[in-house]
Amino acid sequence: RKKMELLLLLVICQFTINSVKTHSVSKPNIILLMADDLGIGDLGCYGNRTLRTPNIDRLAEEGVTLTQHIAASPLCTPSRAAFLTGRYPIRSGMAAFSRVGVFLFSASSGGLPSEEITFSKLLKQKGYATALIGKWHLGMNCESSNDFCHHPHSHGFDYFYGLPVTNFRDCKPGQGSVFLKGAQKALVIPLQITGLALVSLAIVQYIGLLKVPFRALSYFLLIITISLLVLFFFFYHFRHLNCFLMRDHQIIQQPLSYENLTQRLTKEAMQFIGRNTDAPFLLVLSYLHVHTALYASENFKGKSKHGLYGDAVEEMDWSVGQVLDVLEKHNLGDKTLVYFTSDQGAHVEEISSAGEVHGGYNGIYKGGKSTNWEGGIRVPGLLRWPGVVQAGAYIDEPTSNMDLFPTVAKLADAQLPSDRIIDGHDLLPLLQGKVTQSKHEFLFHYCNAYLNAVRWHPRNSESVWKVVFFTPNFSPEDSNGCYDSHVCFCHGGFITRHDPPLLFDLSRDPEEKVPLTPETESLFYEILRVVHQAVDNHTRSLHAVPNQLSWDNLLWKPWLQLCCSSLFQSCYCDYESGGSSLEVHSG
């Protein structure tokens, strides 16, 4: 009888263990942490020996490190669109045909289309509490200043606390301007032409060759004057109009204050977790670090070995530690998948007006943000889920930030949409060691809307081939970036096309130093043939969609401007100051 009781007890225990494990695997909490412009070489777990990132490194020790994790675009807006939808940004119209590949103003009409399905929409339908805290950068309004058609709420997030656009140099007084140099270049020729036209008209009028109606001349001068006044108003008030903090639909701080900003974002994240300990939740914590303008709170300023950039990295690491600690406090560690990444590689051209390096380190990889060299698209990829995901494992297979969409959808028992192509693949079999090869045989690397390169990992080979159709013209030529223009561009005189394309084997030459030739690689033409066939298949899968980054959708539209007071009061309010902050220890 005692044996029967013991056997029954063992069966009950096993059933309980299996039930707990099944419950945790089927609907875990999900925390997705995304840095901005962080270099893969900035973290200890990827080889950095001078910056202190113990909390991010802890994710690597207790989880999986992806060493060939690829951003779907080397720019913020399209990369984030791909991350949320699991689709190449060209499919959603979030890839530009013009020079500007990201949203620059809060009152632009472009944004992530409402027809797109985000993982937050899927998880919300499955009963998850959902929040986005930090940077959005995927649009706000369409036709009026309160339709919020592109707002996080319209894409499945119950709660939003953060910036609608991004963190610009122009947002922080004394940090210079992203736009001034470009605006000066763009305006010089039109102003010269206008001035020359006016002088010419005055001369021909004076000598009697042509009679110009006074009314026509007056209208012309009026239009020019109004245009210049609007431009002056916009750039003079840029910080108030574009750099502000929102909670849901309400502006709570305009312009944004950097004082204890990371602490405020972290506190919001911790409070969201605390409010949702008894039900599954999705938290996307999208850091402003380390996009310029750089900032750090007093507890971190001057503490790192890499100036203000290093201070910002170490403060972000502190924030990651706070999130992990609050999971432990509520006994949620084993029930939560935590992911850490960056939206693209480090912005190597970022140099402050004082000459200090304000861009990150991409390790051994070439180039950086805005390019499809490895330094622009190879990003950190860390996933921790104790008891489910391998601890301390390294995976060198090609993976993408688009893979998070199908991964979290499956974990939430959500059905993937069947009416569209999903380019990402479920990561869990790789993370659990059930398979050893990524499902990504091909990855397509876009520079804005232009196909720049293709990655091919044959099923029966260790090689990872990369075929590059064009490369950015670095300036100066012997540098590692486009320092003269601040970022690299994707077409015209800014690039060099290659025929035949450049070919690299990233398994042997991850630094992309020596292009292969028919003489050095016997399979050269066969590789190009296979890749061109893959490009043809991929291109046929694309359908025409409205361009969300057209000039019309990018331009500032005053009637879409969000303002917590009025334009004539410089859009000023502050409902944040005086709030409590977290206790911070930088050491």
Amino acid at site 448: N
Q: What is the DSSP string of 50-76?
A: SS--HHHHHHHHHSEEEEEEE-S-SSH
Integer CA distances (angstroms), 2 to 7, 12, 13, 15, 302, in order: 9, 15, 16, 20, 68
Count Cβ atoms below 10 Å from residue 495 Cβ, excluding itself.
18
Please state, in angstroms and rounded to a whole number, the distance separating the CA atoms of residues 448 and 96. Answer: 5
- Active-site residues, by number, are 76, 137
Task: Note whether 368 and 349 are within 8 A (CB).
Answer: yes
In angstroms, what CA-CA distances link 565 with 252, 253, 482?
11, 11, 40
Of 305, 299, 319, nearest in space to 59 by CA: 319
Indicate left, alpha or beta for 117 from its phi (over 0: left) and psi (-120 to 50: alpha). Answer: beta
At 226 the three-state DSSP class reads: helix
Pair of tokens at residue 335? 């029930």
| H-only helix segments in 401-443 | 404-411, 428-431
DSSP labels, 146-193: T--TTSGGGGT-SEEEEESS---GGGSTTS--SSHHHHHHHHHHHHHH
Looking at residue 453, its amino acid is A
Write down the H helix ranges in 243-339. Answer: 261-275, 307-329
Query: Using omega within 30 degrees of 0 as the cis cutoff, is the peptide bond preceding 290 cis?
Result: yes
Element (H, E) at 218: helix 214-236
Please state, in angstroms and as integers, the Cα–Cα distance from residue 85 to each residue in 122, 288, 504, 524, following that order. 10, 21, 30, 35
